[in-house]
Structures are given as C-alpha cells and as structure tokens.
C-alpha cells in the first residue's frame, strides 16, 4: 500500500506498508514532538505550513485516509476518509463522484485502532 508522511513544510516522505502492523509500527515510532515543533516554528515565523500527518492510499478500493495533527497540546487529530464512488445520474448514467468523511478531535491514543479498522474495511 502506498502511504506518505506529510510534513509541516509541505514536503513528504513516501512510504509503503505491507500490512496494518507495519503502519502501526511506523505510527508508533514517529517522533511527534519533533513534527509538532517544526510546525510551531513555521507558524511563529509566519511561514506557509500545513498540519503534519500520515496519508494512506487504498488503491484497490479508491479510498484514501489522511490522519493529520489537529491540536498538539490536546494530542488530537483530524481524520479525512475520501472515496471515489460511481453513482447513477437519472438512474442510468454512471458518474464518478468523491465522498468525504471527516472526524475531528480524534484522540492520539485511538489512531492504532483506526488504522486497524481502515485496513480491515479497505484492504
């Protein structure tokens, strides 16, 4: 599975996970304090920045999951799940559309469980 670590300066590290355990191991090994500090430095400098986070591309099901920092002090994250689906226009004309589900205020200690859920649902 293709994945990436989005950094606060808009750069990204491309990753590949063989399974959920590998994704969880990577998540648990992240030095979130360093990433949070990089984000704070950019904010304080008035520079352009984005919240750091982990992206997962479940290509076979046209789903992507992006888990990104919401609040470092509260250790919360925002989780966006985006899926491309085919719907019928007028009941018979197939059109592709994107559906998105966003969860805010997700506690950091629940991310491993969410990774397991998404791997079971979309892999």
**Interval 16-74: pLDDT, tens:** 999 999 999 999 999 999 999 999 999 999 999 999 999 999 877 789 999 999 999 99
Residue 69 exposure: Cα atoms within 13 Å on the Cβ side: 26
> Any idea of the CA torsion for 81, 82, 87, 89, to the nearest 10 degrees?
120
- The pLDDT score that the predictor gives to residue 30 is 97
pTM over cut 0.85: yes
Closest CA to 13 of 58, 54, 65, 63: 54
- The pLDDT score that the predictor gives to residue 1 is 78
Residue 23 exposure: Cα atoms within 13 Å on the Cβ side: 30
* pLDDT higher than threshold 80 for residue 4: yes
DSSP β-ladder status, 53-58 and 63-71 = antiparallel
Q: Which of 45-59, 80-94, 109-123 has the lowest mean pLDDT?
A: 80-94
- The pLDDT score that the predictor gives to residue 117 is 95
**In percent, how much of the chain has pLDDT > 70?**
100
Using 50, 70 and 90 to split pLDDT, how confident is the model at 90? confident
């Amino acid at each position: 599975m293709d994945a990436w670590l989005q950094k606060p300066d808009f750069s990204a590290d491309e990753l590949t996970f063989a399974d959920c355990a590998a994704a969880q191991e990577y998540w648990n090994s992240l030095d979130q304090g360093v990433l949070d500090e990089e984000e704070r430095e950019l904010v304080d400098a008035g520079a352009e920045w984005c919240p750091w986070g982990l992206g997962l591309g479940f290509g076979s099901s046209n789903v992507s999951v992006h888990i990104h920092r919401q609040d470092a002090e509260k250790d919360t994250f925002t989780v966006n799940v985006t899926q491309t689906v085919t719907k019928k226009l007028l009941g018979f004309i197939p059109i592709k559309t994107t559906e998105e589900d966003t969860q805010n205020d997700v506690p950091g200690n629940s991310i491993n469980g969410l990774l397991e859920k998404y791997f079971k649902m979309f892999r």
